[in-house]
Amino acid sequence: MSASNLTKKLLQSHLASGELVVGQEIGLKIDQTLAHDATGQMAALQFEALGFPRVATKRSVFYVDHNILQTGFENADDHAYLASMARKFGAWFSKAGNGICHQVNLESFSRPGDTLLGADSHTTTGGAVAELAIGVGGLDVAVAMGGTPFYFPCPKILGIELTGSLRPMVRAKDLALEVLRLLGVAGGRGYILEFYGPALQSLSVTERATVANMSVETGAITAIFPSDENTRQFLAQRGREADFQPLAADPGAEYDSHIVIDLSTLEPLAACPHSPGHVKKVADIPDLAVDQVAIGSCTNSSLEDLLSVAAILRGHKIPPQVSLVIAPGSRQVYLELARQGAVADLIETGARLMEVACGFCNGVGQAPKTNGVSLRTSNRNFPGRSGTPSGNLYLVSPETAAVSALRGVLTDPRELKPVSVRLPEKMPLDLSLVIPPVSLTEAEAAVIERGPNIAPVPRFSPPPRLLEGEVTLALGDNVTTDDILPAGAHILALRANIPAISRYIFNNIDPTYPERQKKVPGFIVAGVNYGQGSSREHAALAPRYLGLAAVIALSFARIYKANLCNFGILPLELVNPSQKDELAQGHRLAVDLSDLSPGQILTIRDLSSGIEAQARLDVTDRQAQMLKAGGLLAWMAAKK
């Protein structure tokens, strides 16, 4: 029997259908799911629409961590809906104040060898403990909650061998940024990143979590680390040693591609505006005055991160022109910071402690000033994501952020004396803000709460045999889901209401788009890697509601392409890239859809210019059937 890498072992152990042949569709049995209060409402509505009687996974959790700013009834209504759905159908419910879903899930529920499907792209965090953790749209999570396998093309595996060890004040965030520097924001498409090598013994689970979390920014499906002694210690520290099992690649295992990173050569790095892939050495960005420093998010809000920040800040004061905000990732982290006196250290330096939530990372609070420079330990710095359209976001490590906050300029943290922290031997989990499933008798009596912000799930018809419409928007490369549907508190509050949220589609690019799209079946034309970024299915569902019928692009990001198929939008990839600009905004197009076979080459007739272009329907058999039916909900309903 040939040596196997860890990823193939995990895929094989959960294989429900198909074969592990790159590019062929496989179905995976899903052990756990997660969704939060920006994606969970739609996932829950879709779960109801699918008619499942009860959650069929080992554990499914709804988290309240995104929409905690309650300036109106909408968010409170959404939280009540999610809590009642959990009670009715057998899910777990993590209340506001318990923490960010990825941090809490890692601490409390992630298990080596399990599969986790999450309605959030940074579900990949679970790979830190050898959990096969994949981010998807909410509809895929809803289907998995009902016990149906998750289907996707069998990936390639990129082996990333780590050697050496990180030098003082160089951290795992710098490793994550180095991976992005090497791969860019699309170099990981179609891959799972598997980390191995002698350097792993020096990387804690929370450090691995930072790297796994940001792996999705390369376009990768997820990232995997082995389950080893560091994993056992992490679980044992939280009273979860029974969940441990050793998991690693066999000696001599092979990979589809392979790179080596010597940790001892890394320096402090920063992702510059406006892309996680725009990476430079901190030392090469001189004299950058800093207006705001925001430390936290699911990427860098662990106890290890924040104790290091507290050690750097202890006994100092931040300059008056700098705003420093810090958000612990979980209630557990916050409590331990308080027990160790670190909260006092942080407050005395002039920092403000935020609620344990996503907050500033997704544009809910702490927007910088006009043209402001904001250093953040989060994972994305897309234009406008902070809530300030002209804000300039730099992604850095907690150490770089803390030292820069003290200096008032972006600073290489190695200019200060290195700090070290000691973690407690035991951190018993306190799950008092997590509500477990109730008994079947209690569930039957439960009533689902639906406030006026909870709108029905839109239903869509099959496509016509001849699709005629207008190019309603022509775009460039690397269009993000933030570009399609902006973040921010006022928009997040509408995630359960597609008619309302559809008014904001492309709001930062072309505010006239929603009204124009309503008038005629629409095509969007775009470049490479269309739909990179978050898993928010609303960026596909809301345009479909407005009348978008097809996206013609050079290539698609994985999650977004799956979301297009789920809602019956054709993902068409141009055969000749040079023709993209010929399909101009305002042109009328026609496509014969009588044959929607996988791999089919469709002819696009430009009725305005008279040219013809060829586009490939690069989908699986299953996705083709969904598209013919008008989307996944319609397809599953027809099968019953």
Residue pLDDT, tens place only, 427-464? 989 999 999 999 999 999 999 999 998 999 999 999 99
Which has the closest alpha carbon to 460: 604, 600, 589, 565?
A: 565
Query: pTM for this structure?
Result: 0.96
Dist CA 29 CA 151 (whole Å): 9
Provide φ and ψ at 325, rounded to 5°. -120, 140
Dist CA 585 CA 338 (whole Å): 56
Q: What is the DSSP string of 438-493?
A: --HHHHHH------TT-PPPP--PPPPSEEEEEEEEE--SS-BHHHHS--SHHHHT
Dist CA 306 CA 308 (whole Å): 5
User: What's the CA dihedral at 67, 70, 72, 77 to 10 degrees?
Assistant: 60
Q: What is the DSSP string of 30-68?
A: --EEEEETTTHHHHHHHHHHHT-SS--SSEEEEE--S--
Q: Which residues of the chain have pLDDT under 50?
A: none
Q: How far is CA 395 from CA 168, 179, 378, in A?
A: 19, 14, 6
What's the pLDDT at 159? 98
Which contiguous run of DSSP H or E holds residue 173?
helix 172-183
Dist CA 128 CA 272 (whole Å): 26
Our CA angle for 70, 75, 81, nearest 5°, is 145
Q: What is the DSSP string of 486-544?
A: --SHHHHTTTT-HHHHGGGTTTTT-TTHHHHHTTS-EEEE--TTBTBS---THHHHHHH
Dist CA 217 CA 4 (whole Å): 26
What's the pLDDT at 1? 59
What's the pLDDT at 489? 81
What's the pLDDT at 419? 93
Q: Which domains does the chain have, with CATH numbers?
A: 6-265 (3.30.499.10), 269-415 (3.30.499.10), 466-639 (3.20.19.10)
Judge whether 191 and 157 are in contact, CB under 8 Å: yes
292 beta partners: 323, 374
What's the pLDDT at 363? 81
Which has the closest alpha carbon to 378: 477, 286, 233, 271?
A: 271
Q: Residue 575, SS3?
A: coil
Tell me the angle at which helices 205-214 and 303-313 cross, rounded to the nearest 10 degrees. Answer: 100
What's the pLDDT at 2? 81
Residue 505: other Cβ atoms inside 10 A: 24
Residue with tokens 């958000």: 327
Dist CA 207 CA 171 (whole Å): 8
Judge whether 410 and 293 are in contact, CB under 8 Å: no
First to last CA, the chain: 42
Dist CA 245 CA 234 (whole Å): 12
Which has the closest alpha carbon to 35: 4, 97, 79, 88?
A: 79
Which has the closest alpha carbon to 96: 119, 112, 80?
A: 80
Q: What is the DSSP string of 368-418?
A: PPTT-EEEESSS---TTTTS-TT-EEEE--HHHHHHHHHHSB---GGGSPP
286 beta partners: none
For residue 294, what are its two tokens?
Answer: 């925001």
Which has the closest alpha carbon to 300: 365, 194, 381, 378?
A: 378
Dist CA 209 CA 231 (whole Å): 11
Dist CA 594 CA 635 (whole Å): 18
